[in-house]
Amino acid sequence: MKKSLSLIAVAAMSLTACTQSDVIEENVQSNNAIGFNTMVNRGSRAIESNTFKQFYVFGNYHSDSKPAAPVEVFTGTSVTRENTTDGTPWTYTGKRYWINGAKYYFSAYAIDGGTIEKGTPVYTHDDAGKYTFKISDFICDHTQQKDLVYAAAGSFESPIVGKNEDNAVVPFAFKHVLSRLDFVFKTNFPEGYKVTISSVTVQDVRNKATFTGKQYAADANVSADAVGSWSEPERVPETPYISVPFETGANMTIDNTMTDGLRSGFVYVIPYHYKTLAQNGKGVAIQFTVLVKDPAGNEVLNKQLAGRWRPMWDMNKTYTYTININGEASGLEEIQFSGSVGDWVTGTPANPSFDLGAGELPSIEPQA
């Protein structure tokens, strides 16, 4: 009996990775107070341009007289706007002003929903006054499923220099620093069979890590994979999972006429290249319950299926996995028949021979 799932074989999962490079520019301010504008790359967004209303900024400056003694200007300060459709500027409580000749550098982050519930943003500097932005012990699993973006403007080597007037706003080109997944379910069951999918989860993800954001020049065209890096993530606890969402009211039943299949919502994961089996890698798993009914409405299968693979996830990329479900792959045995025709058997006649004289024929008695 063939038991291997096309799902479990994972080769049946088709994967596409899309880099996101388009940007949306919003807001310009032009006074001597420190102001901000933002760009958020399109495509793999949960933080949408029409809902992006808050980010948090860290910033400091150095003076020539005390280059190793930075002055903190923003310390995780909330920057908000009331709406996103009419060019409303970003604002914050308590204006800060540019200092002529001072050298500034800034880091900012935003998370879908406003605040990081599991993870600690920190901004520290070394003895030379160089700052480093981190989000320590960030959790990304079923307890925190939020898009996370990061941007920098100015660095110790390429600062923004303050002027007496005509200072430009601080430009933040935010990049997504997580990976994003979705799943498409299809079936190859015969015509008339209905397959219902439920309880979809991604199991054994590495869910805890620290993000370190890089500092770079305000006008630098930095690619998504160059804005920062993640430490090697760990599993806390040993079997963390993520529930895969679907649109509210979605029809979770599919058949072989649905060429587009059933598409899930998105889940976010920490970018990581999982180790191979040869490296004793555990990988991750997609797990779900499948209920199959035949054309007469009889239940022929109701069980939990799971497939394991070892992905290579990068920052700011969306990965779509297609899962094909059929009878054998789901653990069902097809009803089969066999047939054969036996060889001819040599029979023994009742009168195996006749003695015939020349010109004579045997007489045959007529039968009643």
Query: Residue 162: its pLDDT value, please?
Result: 94
Query: Residue 363: its pLDDT value, please?
Result: 57
Query: Residue 14: its pLDDT value, please?
Result: 31
Query: Residue 17: its pLDDT value, please?
Result: 35
Query: Residue 231: its pLDDT value, please?
Result: 97
- Which of the pair, 108 or 366, is modelled with greater confidence? 108
Q: Phi and psi at residue 44, in whole multiples of 5°?
A: -95, 45
For the chain, the three-class secondary structure string (H helix, E strand, C coil) is CCCCCCCCCCCCCEEEEEECCCCCEECCCCCCECCEEEEECCCCCCCCCCCCCEEEEEEEEEECCEEEEEEEEEEEEEEECCCCCCCCCCECCCCCECCCCCEEEEEEEEECCCCCCCCEEEEEECCCCCEEEEEEEEECECCECCCEEEEEECCCCCCEECCCCCCCCEEEEEEECCEEEEEEEEECCCCCCEEEEEEEEEECCCCEEEEEECCCCCCCCCCHHHCEEECCCECCCCCCEEECCCCCCCCCEECCCCCCCEECCCEEECCEECCCHHHCCCCEEEEEEEEEECCCCCEEEEEEEEEEECCEECCCEEEEEEEEECCHHHCCCCCCCCCCCCCCCCCCCCCCCCCCCCCCCCCCCCCC
- Which of the pair, 140 or 352, is modelled with greater confidence? 140
Task: Look at the block and give the residue holding tokens 């400056």.
Answer: 61
Contact, 174 vs 110, CB < 8 A?
Answer: yes
Query: Residue 365: its pLDDT value, please?
Result: 58
Query: Residue 345: its pLDDT value, please?
Result: 58
What gap in Å lies between CA 227 and CA 202, rounded to an integer?
Answer: 27
Query: Residue 282: its pLDDT value, please?
Result: 83
Least confident window among 70-74, 178-182, 348-352: 348-352
Q: Span 178-200, mean pLDDT? A: 94
Query: Residue 116: its pLDDT value, please?
Result: 94
Mean pLDDT for the chain?
Answer: 80
Count of C-beta atoms within a 10 Å radius of residue 230 = 18
Closest CA to 312 of 44, 15, 11: 15
Calculate ∠ Cα 135-139-143, nearest 5°.
140
Count of C-beta atoms within a 10 Å radius of residue 228 = 24
AA letter at 246: F
Contact, 223 vs 238, CB < 8 A?
Answer: no
Query: Residue 252: its pLDDT value, please?
Result: 97
Query: Residue 221: its pLDDT value, please?
Result: 83
Sorted by sequence, the CB contacts under 8 Å of residue 307 that are 6+ apart come out as: 5, 7, 8, 9, 10, 13, 285, 286, 287, 323
pLDDT in tens, 266-290: 999 999 999 876 667 789 999 999 9
Measure the CA dihedral 348/351/356/362, to 10°. Answer: -130
Over 60: is that where the pLDDT of 330 sits? no
pLDDT in tens, 16-68: 333 332 222 333 233 467 776 766 655 444 676 667 889 999 999 988 777 66
Core vs surface per residue 173-208: b (16+ CB within 10 A) or e: bbbbbbbbbebbbbbebeeebbbebeebbbebbbbb
Query: What percentage of residues in the chain have a pLDDT greater than 90?
Result: 54
Query: What percentage of residues in the chain have a pLDDT greater than 70?
Result: 74
Over 80: is that where the pLDDT of 321 sits? yes
pLDDT in tens, 83-137: 776 667 889 999 999 999 999 999 999 998 788 999 999 998 887 778 899 999 9
pLDDT in tens, 203-237: 999 999 999 999 998 888 888 888 999 999 999 98
What gap in Å lies between CA 308 and CA 13, rounded to an integer?
Answer: 11
- 31 CA to centre of own chain: 41
Query: Residue 122: its pLDDT value, please?
Result: 93
Query: Residue 368: its pLDDT value, please?
Result: 53
- Which of the pair, 250 or 362, is modelled with greater confidence? 250
- 307 CA to centre of own chain: 16
pLDDT-derived band at 300 (thresholds 50, 70, 90) equals: very high
Query: Residue 245: its pLDDT value, please?
Result: 97
Closest CA to 315 of 149, 145, 173: 149
What global pTM score does this model have?
0.79
